[in-house]
Amino acid sequence: MKNLISYSKIIAGTMTWGSWGKNLSKEEISHLIGYCVENGITTFDHADIYGGYENEEVFGNGFFHSKVPRERVQLITKCGIQYVCGARDNKVKHYDYSKDYIIWSAERSLTKLKTDYLDLFLLHRPSPLMQPDEIAEAILHLQKEGKIREFGVSNFSPSQIALLESVIPVSANQVEFSLTAEKLMHDGTLDDCIMHNRTAMAWSPLGSYFRKNNKARKRIKKVIKRLKKKYEADSSQILLAWILKHPSKVHPVVGTTNKERLIASVKATEIDLELEDWFLLLVASQGHKVP
């Protein structure tokens, strides 16, 4: 598979830019977009459900105000989750991958993001009821009309991707991957990305390190304390460098809106952890030596 698009190594995750987080104003979003682009973060990750189906519009207004040329950025969004919130009359959270809904959702995202095309359009989570042929019809229709450039998935297993690839190419998989959530290295998910030249993207790339004060964090912290001095880096940069070393060439989706943290994330791409340091972190996370 040949990927059509080059995404920035660090991707800006926008989930907390709106009502699910910082509630940034149009002017603040406009400034932050420009700041990201100026510092090499040109890819912005969305999902229709973020902010209760409002985030895309908030970002779109800021993007239009920023005057950043469309060709300088790559816009990603996701569809399929029917979320229970005020914007939708849903009784239960579920997934909808019918042809009509996929097309409607993509076109709605285009309107809200104030763009004519999406660089990457993802199915947000796998549904046990998804019909590959129907999904392919929707995606091919959108590609034919120039509304999406690449098609991918998020949180899909290799077998679920293979099901879709029986009828349509899948160019990317965005998954949870970090030092504290590393099972994808062992279940074939990242192997699949390598074998098929599929773009790998990692949400929550710092894992639970800053959220949970458990035994694993205490073990990791001891190792990081030594490595911070060696690599002249902070804890977040060491954690990012760890996933960046994986041969799947993963793109971390970084959710911060803090300028210093964004710059630090970009600088983390310059860190090349030595082999044994990488394994020291893995062992600290797992709590046992490798087999």
Q: What is the pLDDT of residues 187-245, one digit of tens each?
A: 999 999 999 999 999 999 999 999 989 999 999 999 999 999 999 999 999 999 999 99
Strands (E) across 124-238 are located at 148-154, 172-176, 199-203
Predicted local confidence at residue 2, as pLDDT:
52
CA triple 230-235-241, angle to 5 deg: 75
Largest distance between two CA atoms of the chain:
54
Alpha-carbon Rg for the chain in angstroms: 19
CA triple 241-246-247, angle to 5 deg: 135
pLDDT at 140 over 80: yes
Q: Point out the catalytic residue in the list 50, 97, 209, 231.
A: 50
Question: What's the CATH fold of domain 11-176?
Answer: TIM Barrel (3.20.20)
Closest CA to 179 of 264, 268, 263, 266: 268
Whole-structure pTM value:
0.97
Q: Angle formed by the axes of helices 275-286 and 235-244, to 10°?
A: 110
Fill in the DSSP letter of residue 279. H
In the residue annotation, 97 being an active-site residue is answered as no
pLDDT at 46 over 70: yes
Closest CA to 284 of 214, 186, 232, 203: 214
